[in-house]
Amino acid sequence: EAAVTQSPRSKVAVTGGKVTLSCHQTNNHDYMYWYRQDTGHGLRLIHYSYVADSTEKGDIPDGYKASRPSQENFSLILELASLSQTAVYFCASSDARQGYAEQFFGPGTRLTVL
Amino acid sequence: QQKVQQSPESLIVPEGGMASLNCTSSDRNVDYFWWYRQHSGKSPKMLMSIFSNGEKEEGRFTVHLNKASLHTSLHIRDSQPSDSALYLCAASYTNAYKVIFGKGTHLHVLP
């Protein structure tokens, strides 16, 4: 079965600090995504990537950067964490472009910014 | 901006009952509809997808699609307490190569 792992699983950060969320997949998928989930908002796409060393902006990229150093790894970086970025973050992968293949999600990272 | 509307926000059904969830796209350029299920504290997992008009059945789960009305529905028969979860509908669009998720329907199946 497809495997997507995330680290850390939980993180408490201070306002203005830097946060890096990591994602690793062993599916050999080209496409990887970062979403955030807030109560009442479903899933919203932050950044995605379809090839190593390249990332694309999603629907809510402000305040976030992404890095795809290899096919397997995809990171989400919050340079200056803010209270509004408290949320659960999910990484996902798929073997075709978004919308044309099932997405496999990691277990999520619960981020609390104080 | 494409939007995906789900209704109801919350649904309570008795064990053994039928649950019906709805989802509509605001954009006509929709290619696929997806249904994901997310148990509390877990990640979403795909249940079913549909792209052709009509009906698709897998076990206790049936999905309907009416492309003219941009509407899909998920029906769960003989609902079980283990079906209690957040059900997310997502739509993919040809002209944007993206998926938009709805806010979800919270299903509670009472034993």
pLDDT tens per residue, range A5-50: 999 999 999 999 999 999 999 999 989 999 999 987 789 999 999 8
Where would I find the H helices in B19-103? none
Contact A42 B97 (CB under 8 A): no
- What per-residue confidence (pLDDT) applies to B1? 67
CA nearest neighbour of A27 among A91, A113, A108, A110? A91
Query: With 80 as the cut, is the pLDDT of residue A105 above it?
Result: yes
Q: Are B23 and B102 in contact (CB under 8 A)?
A: yes
Residue with tokens 């206790």, as numbered in its chain: B60
What is the distance between the alpha carbons of residues A89 and A103, in angstroms, rounded to a whole number?
Answer: 15
Note the pLDDT of residue B99. 82
Of B34, B49, B102, the CB nearest to A42: B102
Query: What are the pLDDT digits (tens) for B60-87?
Result: 999 999 999 999 999 999 999 999 999 9
pLDDT digits (tens, 9 = 90+) for A54-93: 999 998 999 999 999 999 999 999 999 999 999 999 999 9
pLDDT in tens, B40-61: 999 999 999 998 889 999 999 9
- SS3 state at B81: helix
Of B71, B84, B91, B77, nearest in space to B7 by CA: B71
- Which positions in chain A have a beta carbon within 8 angstroms of at least one beta carbon in chain B? 40-45, 58-59, 90, 97-100, 102-103, 105-108
